[in-house]
Amino acid sequence: MPASLDLLTWAVLSGMAVAAGLTLVLVGSARRTPRLSDALSALDAAPPRPVGVADLGGSDEWDARLGRWAYTHAHLPVSDGTWRRLQLSGRGVGEFLAEKLILAVSGAAAPQLAAAVASLLGVRLAMVPVGASLLLAAAGYLWPTLRLRRGEHATHEQARHAILTLFDLVTLERLANQSAIAALESAAGLSDALVFRRIRQVADRARLEQRAPWSDLRALADELSLPEISDLCDVLQLDEQGAALAGSLRARVKELRGADLLREKTRAQRAAESMTVWMVIPSLVLGVLLIAPPLLKLGGTG
């Protein structure tokens, strides 16, 4: 390809990219009248989830500031599932979005850097495809989300085990003649685990507002997808009816641990069954090796 034609191709592609960008900016900045059905649906919808500094990441590092700016100004989307996984893992949205942006920029610049290094070494490469940069940028942007999803099960199991430990601590506090709310607050203050901190924050906010924390704790259970917190609230609310909570707490945590043990046994059985497939393959190969010579001999003599 001649050099003039190559330069003309790049100039045309650059002009098309700039024109497309300007068109998208103009279309996005134009004011449009919303449809009446959309406006009524927005009024009937639940209020958006409040976002605090702790959710965005309280660190003052440059990457955390970049992620906070990307969320508040660039409005990068964060799904509800990602919110829940970040809450369970104890990470802020700022650090998460900063990692996505850094990996995306690194992926986009990797082919160009490779071409620059090759030219410095005296190796002339063909035109670096723009598709490779776009593909690597997309892979870098999606990788933190995929890694977060892959570690969701382990994080969720740790949170569930922390809740079961909280059951035992609340039972001990209850045996010390404390009220249900006081027992919950005292038990939640005994550890700095993520679930303990979130329950402690909810209980402290409810105490400052001079109301019971049960509704907020159930909202926290829905947010973190931990129904065990709702079970704890159901048992502790029996204190308002004068019921004995220690026996109920012990019975409920025994049921939850039994269900957790059953899940682990089912998972172990599924893993063992998946391993049997790979154990059968060597036997099949050995059987084929033993049967093949006689079959070949019979076929040759026939």
Cα–Cα separations (whole angstroms), residue 234 to 159, 229, 244: 19, 9, 13
**pLDDT digit string (tens) for 197-216?**
888 888 888 888 888 888 88
Q: Domain for residue 8, yes or no?
A: no
Q: Domain for residue 9, yes or no?
A: no
The reply to whether 127 and 161 lie within a common domain is no
Q: Domain for residue 299, yes or no?
A: no
Q: Domain for residue 164, yes or no?
A: yes
Number of domains in the chain: 2
d(CA 277, CA 274): 6
- What DSSP string runs through 190-228? T---HHHHHHHHHHHHHHHTTS-SHHHHHHHHHHHT-HH
**Containing structural domain, residue 240:** 154-257
Over 70: is that where the pLDDT of 164 sits? yes
Over 70: is that where the pLDDT of 5 sits? no
Residue 65 burial (CB < 10 Å; 0-12/13-18/19+)? Answer: middle
Over 50: is that where the pLDDT of 87 sits? yes
Split at pLDDT 50, 70, 90, the class of 48 is very low
Q: Hey, what amino acid is at 50?
A: P
The reply to whether 113 and 194 lie within a common domain is no
**pLDDT digit string (tens) for 264-301?**
888 888 887 777 777 778 778 888 888 888 877 777 65
Last residue in a domain, options 104, 135, 150: 150
Last residue in a domain, options 91, 121, 150: 150
Last residue in a domain, options 108, 132, 150: 150
Higher-confidence residue: 164 or 2?
164
d(CA 121, CA 155): 47
Q: Domain for residue 264, yes or no?
A: no
The reply to whether 248 and 204 lie within a common domain is yes
Split at pLDDT 50, 70, 90, the class of 33 is low
Over 70: is that where the pLDDT of 79 sits? yes
pLDDT of residue 51: 46
Q: Domain for residue 35, yes or no?
A: no
How many other C-beta atoms are found inside a 10 Å radius of the C-beta of residue 240? 10
The reply to whether 96 and 183 lie within a common domain is no
Q: Domain for residue 107, yes or no?
A: yes
The reply to whether 187 and 225 lie within a common domain is yes
Q: Domain for residue 55, yes or no?
A: yes
Round the average pLDDT of the chain to a whole number and report it.
77
Helices (H), the chain: 3-29, 36-44, 53-56, 62-72, 80-89, 93-120, 130-150, 152-175, 180-188, 194-208, 214-224, 227-236, 245-301
What mean pLDDT is predicted for residues 122-127? Answer: 64
CB 154 within 8 A of CB 185: no
